Structure 1
């Protein structure tokens, strides 16, 4: 014998049960048209949209531990809201890690430059010599501006052309 639930579509059954329980728990005045519309829209979402919604809802509540949703729904929202704040993001994303690049050096100061390169890198004499001779080459990556400026100044004093990129 078939039960009544096999004849009623799933979404209709869920809606009926949800609103029957909500009317029993809450007063009739508290259940508004807006809440019913939101519930209907949530029930009409696909699985992917429900997943994206759950991620977005957690994000809005400050409970985000999985990162933003990956689907087109969330990325379209972030693209539309993010387009107006692009200049502000560029200022906020100021470069903090720099590379020290040796562009060229004076041949007479080659030995002094190799010795200086050895002081701020963990290279041996042969490795430092090979590195300096490959100019233009990046001597050190990911240094802060405060760390890089004294090194650049010292190498410039020795006769090298060095830039902080």
Structure 2
């Protein structure tokens, strides 16, 4: 019986511990009164636009004068501001991305109609690919590759030995035909892609 009473007193003391220190908050204080459950919740009005950086100070007088000067410039000079600032501030220029081969889906109209419109667009830049060459005319082909690629002897030799390989990219149709004829005269076979 004594052991039961002792055990009971230990249990009572452990549940009546007082919470102090950093864990103490308004919920553990004895005078805490919960909010009225029948009270209406507060409605907060959201701003028309959200700025994650908070309100900004108004621009200085110097900035306002600079903006007025820029606005008064002719359009040709305004177009030069971006590149000039990029150069002065050492920002990298934006690289244009090629979207060739990327399926963008149909944009306005049926798929068949837009596919026909894409086929009618004529290709303006071509790649020249060296397919093969005669073993006896290897040196002539290397010299010919050097003339229109401005490569050194070793680089041109390495490229020629890796046939089939693209030797020049982004050339016009006339230039590509001229290069193909020169390689053919030297003893190689090149095609336009």
TM-score by length of 2: 0.43
Higher-Rg member (1/2): 2
